[in-house]
Amino acid sequence: MYNKNMNSYQGKSYNVITYGCQMNVHESEKIRGILSSLGMLETDSAENADVVIFNTCCIREGAEDRAYNNIMALKPIKEKNPNKIIVLCGCMPQQKKGKYNLKEKLPFVDIIIGTHNVNQLAQYLLKFAVTKKQIYDIVDKPTGALDVDNAIRDDNINAYVNIIYGCNKFCTYCIVPYVRGREQSRTPQEIYNEVKNLVQNEGYKFITLLGQNVNSYGKDLKEPTTFAELLTSLCEIEGDFKIKFMTSHPMDFGDDLIKVMKNEPKIAKALHLPVQSGSSKILARMNRHYDLKHYMSIIKKVKHAMPNISLSTDIIVGFPGETEKDFNLTLKLLKKVKFDQVFAFMYSKRSGTPAAEFEDQIDEKEKNIRVNKLLRLQKIIQKDQTKKFFKRTYNCLIRQINGVAVGITDGGKEIYIPNYKFINQNYFADVKIEDIRNHKLSGVVNDKR
């Protein structure tokens, strides 16, 4: 074992570059905690840093290309300064058959590890300082979670908290189950303590619970529990804060969750519920375990229970076998649901996943045409949606932005509050929208001060 008495990193600088989802963003916060506990100091320049960490993603080919090109850009700098240490970790090296043969292509990268052993980053760094030999270590099973206690968070309003790692769903397009392993829930007590500390000692206003599929939470625990039960217990924590969560899977999204969301004022009225496609035929090929009818029934119930809910979704365009007719069903769905936000992606072949072997792949050009068409439609829908806010009241986080009071809805929409005397702290209050001009909302605060 290498211990901190051998630490040659004290006082050195580091820079962490992150690609991908919130899970990775949060993991990088914990990585910064590890580096800081070695006595290192953060810098915002990869060029100047003594240690550069690339925490990577492989959900789509573009994410891999971006990381790979940025790592390659450091090669001449490393040649000039051989003492610079470069680390590659996360989902990209964890893949069995990634696009790039990293070990061969990146001899100048000093440490290459995956998702399951990044928790031991300090050990790898200490070892490298002694051996000075490239470390390439990808393991199949989790070797422990990253320590949250020292995490250095990016934001001081919203804090991410992991509740479940991994995914058991195996959607046919998705690489995540292969690089993140099977579902593993943290215990309710651990999560409760972390949230309580973030709210009561660190003053966070939003807690975003993270998991590839939060609705599976608790099934794998020794004493099984449900996500709705976890939420109920977290709402008992005293303080002026709200809870968000992502991502939800429509298959496991039960009425118990809708009930808790509706009844608990501490749960943000915002829901990210990826649908992926509006065609039941494509959903079956994606192995999503629900059809359009089921998805629409959830949306109907959610809207009925919480008329002010902000809805967002993910769509994959150009999945193998998607005909013009299937694509039009997706457009129809967008018109019907009127999401507040849509994240649309062109299908990207991920080797090792079943859909990569499907024969009826769609031409890149066609995917491009379809995704642009979809985004244009969604833009019109969103603009048109602004009017739904008129005269409605939203519980908002009141913040001072550039000297002006602004209410931020649970869905992230900003409401300007003219002539409002702000009491220099962030707090929640009801805001009624009185005016909409150029799609900008303004309103009045209904607070009891």
Is there binding between residue 153 and ligand 5AD (CB under 6 A)?
no
Residue of 93, 98, 274, 411 that binds ligand 5AD (CB under 6 A): 274
- Encoded one letter per residue, x for contact with ligand SF4 by CB under 6 A and - for no contact, window 176-215 reads xx----------------------------------xx--
Residue of 345, 358, 422, 427 that binds ligand 5AD (CB under 6 A): 345
Is there binding between residue 220 and ligand 5AD (CB under 6 A)?
no
Is 18 strand, coil or helix? strand
Q: Rounded to an integer, what is the distance from CA 197 to the centroid of its chain?
A: 22
Is there binding between residue 167 and ligand SF4 (CB under 6 A)?
yes
Region near ligand SF4 per CB under 6 A, out of 76-84, 170-178, 264-272, 292-300: 170-178
CA distance 20 to 343: 13
Q: Percent helix, strand and coil across the chain, each rounded to 5?
A: 35, 20, 40
Is there binding between residue 57 and ligand 5AD (CB under 6 A)?
no
Q: Are 27 and 146 in contact (CB under 8 A)?
A: yes
Which residue, among 183, 260, 255, has the nearest Cα to 224 in the 3D structure? 183
Sole residue written with tokens 């992991």: 162
Least distance between ligand 5AD and beta carbon 353 (Å): 7
Residue of 155, 170, 380, 418 that binds ligand SF4 (CB under 6 A): 170
314 binds, among ligand 5AD, ligand SF4, none (CB under 5 to 8 A by kind): ligand 5AD
Is there binding between residue 174 and ligand SF4 (CB under 6 A)?
yes
Considering beta carbons, is residue 112 or 164 the nearer one to ligand SF4?
164
Q: How many residues does the chain have?
A: 449
Which residue, among 386, 418, 353, has the nearest Cα to 175 in the 3D structure? 353
Region near ligand 5AD per CB under 6 A, out of 253-261, 347-355, 422-430, 438-446: 347-355
**Beta-carbon count within 10 A of 414 CB:** 16
Please, which residues have CB within 8 angstroms of residue 60's CB and are 6 or more apart in sequence?
345, 346, 348, 350
169 binds, among ligand 5AD, ligand SF4, none (CB under 5 to 8 A by kind): ligand SF4
CA distance 28 to 56: 10
Structure tokens at 306: 């919480």
CA distance 270 to 309: 5
Sole residue written with tokens 């910064």: 32
Least distance between ligand SF4 and beta carbon 180 (Å): 8
Phi-psi region of 233 (alpha: psi -120 to 50; beta: other; left: phi over 0): alpha
CA distance 303 to 280: 22
Considering beta carbons, is residue 287 or 341 the nearer one to ligand SF4?
287
Least distance between ligand SF4 and beta carbon 363 (Å): 23
Is there binding between residue 275 and ligand SF4 (CB under 6 A)?
no
Is there binding between residue 173 and ligand 5AD (CB under 6 A)?
yes
Which stretches of the chain bind ligand 5AD, using CB under 6 A?
Answer: 59-60, 173-174, 274, 276, 314, 316, 345, 347-348, 350
Which chain residues interact with ligand SF4 by CB under 6 A? Answer: 167, 169-171, 174, 176-177, 212-213, 249
